[in-house]
Amino acid sequence: MVNMGANTDVLPHETQTLSPYMRKTLLLISCMVLAIGNCGGPLIMRLYFIHGGERIWLSSWLLTAGWPFILIVLIPIFYHRRATTGNSTTKLFNMKPRLILASAVVGVLTGVDNYLYSYGVAKLPVSTSSLLIASQLAFTAGFAYLLVKQKFNSYSINAVVLLSIGSGVLALHTNSDRPDGESKREYIIGFVMTLGAAALYGLILPLIELVYQKAKQVVDFPLVMEIQMVMCLFATLFSTVGMLINNDFKAIPREARNFDLGETKYYVILVCSGIIWQLFFIGAGGVIFCASSLLSGIIISVLLPVIEVLAVIFYKEKFQAEKGVALVLSLWGFVSYFYGEIKQSKKAEKNHAAEMELPVNQIVVP
């Protein structure tokens, strides 16, 4: 089994042949898209809540309701394929029933995770919820080891431990940044729900990678987008049921009229939220396709300082000592992980070069 860390020269699943340049370009684009979604999503969701929004099911629905946006990616690829191959039988969708079922299951889990996350954002400042979400890396690492046989070194283990301790530091001062007018009980529930969201998403990322591995068909980028679309569709259906039970659809016009920023801006925020969060899912799926679920989790976590700074700038959130300690531990963990990946990459290159210098009859075949 190959190492599925940040080294992008080896893919952990059967994929369409891509040149190293194209693969690295696609990875870079996916990272940029993921960064936009990961930084912008929490901020715009919190904007909805601090100005009068109260619908948690609606917020969780918006996380994946932008799934039709993926068609903007798929349709041009479809026509390009048809034009370049000259094959009129080329299909827009190529997923087999088995793959659709697996994606649907992961999609429902994503819907559950969206609700947990939305509840946490509704009750916690962005800076606190973001630091808690950083703990998903520990869960991603654990589940990646169990599900896709992710290999670790001392540096990656150190990173996971530091990130976990950083989240634990926040738990020692659960009252220090509680929003005005919110009870201690509501704050603690939001804290627990956010940790639950981090744990569940730590499972979902390796599950997506496992779906790629077990697809039993060639996994190319268009197929990755199809998988993401099915996942988001079923996550949206899950949240739709919750909205219907909670009468959220009927409450939207009333909530829009009473929104602090005005009715028009209320709907603009909802639309922008759906689009920005869809960028997050497209980017995460692309990074997993180009590298691994662990790298996707690392990138999500490494953007934490950006979210912290933006939350303080735009929402004037407090930045207490425990958040500073947690942030330092998180950054220390990130540096440890990438330093380990660099050392491991150099070691692998050195071993490969030494092996190439051996005579053929001296190379040991495992």
Q: What is the pLDDT of residue 30?
A: 93
Give a yes or no: residue 7 inside a domain.
Answer: no
Taking the whole predicted model, whether its pTM rises above 0.85 is answered as no
Positions in the chain short of pLDDT 50: 1-13, 360-361, 363-366
The upper half-sphere exposure of residue 160, i.e. CA atoms within 13 Å in the direction of its Cβ, equals: 20
User: Within a domain: residue 362?
Assistant: no
Rounded to whole angstroms, the Cα distance separating 192 from 186 reads 10
pLDDT at 366: 47
Domain-embedded: residue 296? yes
Examine residue 232 and state whether it is found in any structural domain, yes or no.
Answer: yes
**What percent of the chain is predicted at pLDDT more than 70?**
84
With respect to residue 60, please indicate whether it lies within any of the assigned structural domains.
yes
Flag whether 9 is in a domain.
no
Beta strands in 274-349 (DSSP E): none
Neighbours of 39 (CB within 10 A): 19
Tens of pLDDT along 163-222? 667 666 765 655 556 666 667 788 888 888 999 999 999 999 999 999 998 888 888 889
Q: Answer yes or no: is 13 within a domain.
A: no
pLDDT at 129: 80
For residue 234, the model assigns a pLDDT of 97
Give residue 344's domain range.
Answer: 20-353
pLDDT score for 16:
55
pLDDT of residue 71: 92
Give one DSSP letter per residue of 206-217, joined into a string. Answer: HHHHHHHHT-SS
In a domain, 10, yes or no: no
Q: How many structural domains compose the chain? A: 1
pLDDT in tens, 249-281: 999 999 999 999 999 999 999 999 999 999 999
pLDDT score, position 224: 92
